[in-house]
Amino acid sequence: MKFIFLAMLGFVFTNAYTQNFVPNYDESKIPDYVLPQLLISKDGSKVSTATQWKNKRRNELLANFQTYIYGKVPNGDVDVQTQLIKKLDAFGGKAIMKEVKITFSRNQKKISMNLLIYLPKSGTKVPIFLALNFNGNYTIINDPNISLTTSWVPNNEKFNITDHQATESSRGSAHRRWPVEEIIDHGYGLATIYYGDIDPDKNDFSDGIHPLFYTPGQVHPAKDEWGSISAWAWGLSRAMDYLEKDDNIDPSKVILLGHSRLGKAALWAGATDERFAIVISNESGCGGAAISRRKIGETVARINTSFPHWFCDNFKQFNNNEDALPVDQHMLIALIAPRPVYVASAEGDKWSDPKGEFFSAYYAGKVYQLFGLTGLPNDKMPKVNSPIMRTVGYHIRTGKHDLTDFDWNQYLKFADLHFKK
Ligand code: GTR
């Protein structure tokens, strides 16, 4: 009874806050702020070499992001079973399509995620993009061979989804965001997973991967334990465990890509798992690439209220209190160094704060310089549709919040630039 009352109260508060929230889009109204120092260690010492960064500063920052923002993955092994469920020719025989079911079990509970893979038939181990998708593997392309997801999906009248179960009517519905044949023709593979297989995107910690790691009696992650973004990132690392074993894939050339909330997950996975060779954030915004202290568009308080399950509970201490954060998001980008990282924004996506995303990418450059690599050339945002590609890449394109062909074309070029040199 008490729990139901509190849940109702929470719901009323969330709705009221979300409805009354007025985002600031005026640069002149940004409060003065000082970014935490990237290259000064906790003990006050200066970080001036790549070794000092790798052995000391990087660990301090990673620990802060773990404790205060995304949450720690609890200790303990999980049993993993991998099963190849489909292997077929695709695109008239120039590619193969595979479905790999990966089942995790622990604590008498189990969940499965389905990895959908397209690979060009090239005779060599290919580089591959790995990306989570929003609505199910079967939505990324109109291919009748792809299994419908059996995980919880959001209801959607347009696609006749009324009981949180995927229906045939949304097969291929997201194809515009997934130029699979172009990726194949470019010599790359694509692997994708429905993010809801790992943890359904709702404020409910009784489903998804979290309960497998609970201690006896636990029903919710501890304050510094993983929220959903960290869980999705964990799933990406488990997909990587599989990619490393696939004979047709080059595990040293896995490019992690994510859009929006899945861009936040891609950045966090790229920060925590150094096996990912390149990391791409497409319009990841607040809690992703955007500087939190700018408070433009979506803010920490707003994201923690609308999506209370995305970050760890400790992050809520920083609602309307960004200056107290021990880190800011340029440090997240820096955690990816020395591996190439690409941050992308869209002009019409003010909610994600394009300028704040650009600044993160720019400031992270200091760490790339320690490795003798080049970040973005200066703190002036480039013109729209004029990508910059160094070890750090950035573009702002025309158009709205989306993942478009323009974006993909840049990512293919960026991957070529770093893999084919
Ligand atoms: C919005 C959210 C953003 C972004 C976006 C998305 O509602 O406020 O942080 O993640 O969703 O994932 O499409």
Tokens of 95: 């590619």
> What is the Cα–Cα distance from 107 to 346, expressed in whole angstroms?
44
Q: What is the pTM of this model?
A: 0.97
Decide: helix, strand or coil at residue 329. helix
Residue 330: active-site member? no
Asked if residue 56 belongs to a domain, the reply is: no
Structural domains in the chain (count): 1
Domain region containing 247 = 64-419
Asked if residue 383 belongs to a domain, the reply is: yes
Residue 237: active-site member? no
**The domain spanning residue 245 has which CATH number?**
3.40.50.1820
Q: What is the mean pLDDT of residues 71-86?
A: 97
Per residue in 327-342, pLDDT (tens digit) is 999 999 999 999 999 9
Residue 10: predicted pLDDT: 63
Asked if residue 335 belongs to a domain, the reply is: yes
CB atoms within 10 A of CB 72: 16
The confidence band for 2, taking pLDDT boundaries of 50, 70 and 90, is very low
Q: Is the pLDDT of residue 324 over 90?
A: yes
Asked if residue 350 belongs to a domain, the reply is: yes
Do 264 and 287 meet the contact criterion of CB atoms below 8 Å apart?
yes
Q: How many CA atoms lie within 13 A of 355 on its CB side?
A: 12
Per residue in 13-45, pLDDT (tens digit) is 677 888 899 999 999 999 999 999 999 999 999
Asked if residue 57 belongs to a domain, the reply is: no
Per residue in 263-275, pLDDT (tens digit) is 999 999 999 999 9
> What is the whole-number distance in angstroms between the Cα of residue 194 and the centre of ligand 1?
16
Any atom of ligand 1 within 6 Å of the Cβ of 285: yes
Asked if residue 26 belongs to a domain, the reply is: no
Choose the catalytic residue: 170, 260, 284, 345. 260
Q: What is the mean pLDDT of residues 283-310?
A: 98
Any atom of ligand 1 within 6 Å of the Cβ of 286: yes
Residue 11: predicted pLDDT: 62
> What is the whole-number distance in angstroms between the Cα of residue 183 and the centre of ligand 1?
26
Asked if residue 134 belongs to a domain, the reply is: yes
Asked if residue 28 belongs to a domain, the reply is: no
The confidence band for 70, taking pLDDT boundaries of 50, 70 and 90, is very high
Which ligand 1 atom is the nearest neighbour of the CA of 285?
9
pLDDT averaged over every residue in the chain: 96
